[in-house]
Amino acid sequence: MDALKSTAIACVNKDSARSKSGKVRRYYAGVLALLGALSLAGCYGAPLSPREKDTLIGGAVGAGGGALVGSAVGSPGAGAAIGGLGGAGLGYLIGNQVQNREYGYGGYGGYGYRYGGY
């Protein structure tokens, strides 16, 4: 009777371990599917304007440079954060000027304010 009981307990434990690993696999598959869907949804939209493009490039270059400088000092994460913010800010300013010149806003362009009225 004890052998039958121990065999039944072993089968129950084995089945619960299988069901637990199945739940974990389904959880990770769901998380992976959600991350994939979100990453593809982030690519949808209109093309980037010069301001947006230069802001992204400036942030990436600033984060890389800040990480290099920060690693020399001993804090690459802080350097990357500070460099990324600074680079994104500088990239925004440059991209803003490029976009304003391209579309003619401000200065002497066709759509902006002109000296002497319209």
List, for residues 1-20, the tens digit of each pLDDT value.
Answer: 555 555 555 555 555 556 77
Together in a domain, 54 and 39: no
Read off the pLDDT of residues 46-101 as tens digits, 9 standing for 90 and up: 888 889 999 999 999 999 999 999 999 889 899 999 999 999 999 999 999 998 88
Which residue has tokens 């976009």? 99
Together in a domain, 30 and 57: no
Is the CB of residue 79 less than 8 Å from the CB of residue 70?
Answer: yes
Entry pTM: 0.54
Together in a domain, 23 and 66: no
pLDDT grade for 39, boundaries at 50, 70 and 90: confident
Together in a domain, 70 and 37: no
Is the CB of residue 89 less than 8 Å from the CB of residue 51?
Answer: no
Rounded Cα distance between 79 and 104, Å, is 37
- Which among 29, 45, 61 is the end of a domain? 45
Together in a domain, 113 and 70: yes
Domain total of the chain = 2
Range of the domain at 38: 1-45
Torsion of CA 68, 69, 72, 73, to 10 degrees: -140
Together in a domain, 62 and 97: yes
Together in a domain, 77 and 36: no
